[in-house]
Amino acid sequence: MPPRVQVPSLVAGSSGENADELRDLIRILMKTVWHGGPARKLARATPRSRINLSITPGVPLAIGQVEGVQVVAEDRDRKRLARLRSMDETGTHEEACRALRQIHEAGKFSPDHILIRDGFARLSQPLDTEVYSDRRVPERPVRPPATRLLRSRGCTLQFFLTALFEAQCRTRPGRVAADNTRPLKQAADQASWVDLVGPDADTAPMVSRHRAINARDRRVRQVRQALLTLAANDVQLVEFIKSKPDAPPRYHGFRLLHEAGRVIGDRVPYTVPMPTEQNLFSLDARLFTNGWVNVLKDTELAFLCMVGDLQAREGYDAVPITGRIRIGYYGLGTDGYQAHHLLQRTGLLQIKRSKVRRPDGTFKAPDREAPYDLSGAPNSFCLVSDGFSQPALPAIIRALQRRWTLPPTPRRAD
């Protein structure tokens, strides 16, 4: 008999947006069981099995048991909230914000927007959407750098965006950014890279039989791993400065390379863009100075880059995003697309909803008798400038707390 997945329905009076998130979760569950996906416990419990969805009216949103494995809808948000609260309690996030504001204010240049060449977020030629789709997301090597850097853990994308911010605060537009002089960790006279981009690793110490690893050690490890990833041959967004070709990398000795990354031939050093250049998009500097870069997930940052690039390209605020554009040019799959839910709740994103589509982009029929109207445009998205003026940590904590209304997880009867 196939395992049974219980998905209780929304309580009466819940918002339509919650209903859309429930629909997205069910779709992810189905994809997980049939094709593998992010919910690894569920995939291991029921590999490639048929599942039944059971709807229980009047019960708040949750996802129940699968063969004794508890899969709860808000589990990822609960873990994320715990990390964010740890950052708040230890003060590491506030220290990072203070250091980023100091870099912005004390630098020779204090740009209101960070300019990024579109090759970082978008491919020059689209991928074949007959081959790639939400069921088969493009492989990492064929994506643009912004989505090539997506990781479930670590700070690689945050590090590179912060490095662009730091370089543009100290370098005149049109000039090559100088080699890095900022220390990796523990500096008396200036903030280190660990201070700027590592607060997400600030959780309880790890203790084993032979070694204890505290939060700062893990933050150093994250930054080093980010630099190794950025310097890899299939990425090439930074280059280590070595005295000898076979010398081991000195992590604080690096230089930025062109945002488009991997190239054939000589590596191209990073030059701060001129505002008059073509094919640029921008991110609000308050993404950094108010701490958003250190609390948003990689998929959320990639979604912001995609919307920012499309707004700059199309020349108007609300930009429609079809699946062909999202996958073909930006390499962003379903999980990345769902990032818009939280970005809207935090006030960073505005959604203009199509009348014939649900907020997740799928078509809806008015009733059982009416055919699907396939002529409507997709949902449109717009970055909200005022949203970046909020302090990031309390705003995202509030958004995550409001996201679900959940009862305590029920225990299985013996």
pLDDT in tens, 90-100: 888 999 999 99
Give the pLDDT confidence score for residue 186 in this predicted structure: 76
Tell me the average pLDDT across 332-344.
Answer: 90
What tens digit of pLDDT does each residue of 355-412 get?
776 655 566 665 555 555 555 678 899 999 999 999 999 999 999 888 764 433 333 3
Task: Give the C-alpha separation, 80 to 86, whole Å.
Answer: 10
413/322: higher pLDDT: 322
Average pLDDT over residues 72-78: 67
Residue 10 is predicted with a pLDDT of 36
Confidence class for position 76, pLDDT limits 50, 70, 90: confident
User: Where is pLDDT greater, at 369 or 321?
Assistant: 321
**In the chain, what percentage of residues exceed pLDDT 90?**
43
- What is the bridge-based pairing of β-strands 4-6 and 52-54? parallel
Residue 138: pLDDT over 70: yes
pLDDT for res 66: 35
Most confident of 150-159, 163-172, 217-226, 251-260: 163-172
Least confident of 114-118, 166-170, 211-215, 394-398: 211-215
* Residue 117 exposure: Cα atoms within 13 Å on the Cβ side: 20
- pLDDT over 70 (residue 141): yes
Q: What is the mean pLDDT of the chain?
A: 77
3-state secondary structure of 291: coil
Residue 306 amino acid letter: M
Q: Which residues contact 245 (CB under 8 A, 6 or more apart)?
A: none
* Burial (CB count within 10 angstroms: exposed 0-12, middle 13-18, buried 19+), residue 340: buried
Residue 6's pLDDT band, with cuts at 50, 70 and 90, is very low
∠ CA 318-321-323, rounded to 5°: 170
What gap in Å lies between CA 232 and CA 73, rounded to an integer? Answer: 36
For residue 320, list its beta bridge partners: 380
Q: Give the amino acid at 236.
A: Q
As a whole number of angstroms, the distance between CA 296 and CA 364 comes to 31
pTM of the model: 0.78
Half-sphere CA count of 186, side-chain side, radius 13 A: 3
Q: Is the CA virtual torsion 291, 297, 302, 304 positive or negative?
A: negative
Residue 223 identity: V
**pLDDT value of position 266:** 81
Helix (H, G, I), strand (E, B) or coil at 393: helix
Nearest to 165 by CA among 272, 252, 257, 251: 272
Q: List 357's β-bridge partners, or say none.
A: 363
Is the C-alpha dihedral spanning 153, 156, 159, 160 positive or negative?
negative
| pLDDT value for 350 | 94
More confident residue, 237 or 3: 237
Note the pLDDT of residue 398. Answer: 92
pLDDT digits (tens, 9 = 90+) for 13-63: 344 455 555 555 555 555 444 343 444 444 343 333 333 444 344 443 334
pLDDT value of position 57: 41
> Do residues 175 and 272 lie in contact, with contact meaning Cβ atoms separated by under 8 Å?
yes
- For the beta carbon of residue 68, count every other beta carbon within 10 angstroms: 8
pLDDT of residue 286: 97
Q: Kindly state the helix (H) or strand (E) to which residue 323 belongs, with its residue range.
A: helix 323-328
Domain boundaries, the chain: 4-73, 77-403
Q: Are 330 and 122 in contact (CB under 8 A)?
A: yes
In this prediction, residues 87-110 reach a mean pLDDT of 91
Query: For residue range 292-307, what is the model confidence (pLDDT) as tens digits?
Result: 999 999 999 999 999 9
Which pLDDT score is estimated for 151?
84
pLDDT tens for each residue of 226-281: 999 999 988 999 999 876 666 666 777 899 999 998 777 788 999 999 999 999 99
The answer to whether 184 and 220 are in contact (CB under 8 A) is yes
Going by their DSSP bridges, the two strands 65-66 and 69-70 should be labelled as antiparallel
3-class secondary-structure state, position 184: coil
The number of C-alpha atoms within 13 Å of 46 and in the hemisphere containing its C-beta is 24
pLDDT score recorded for residue 200: 62
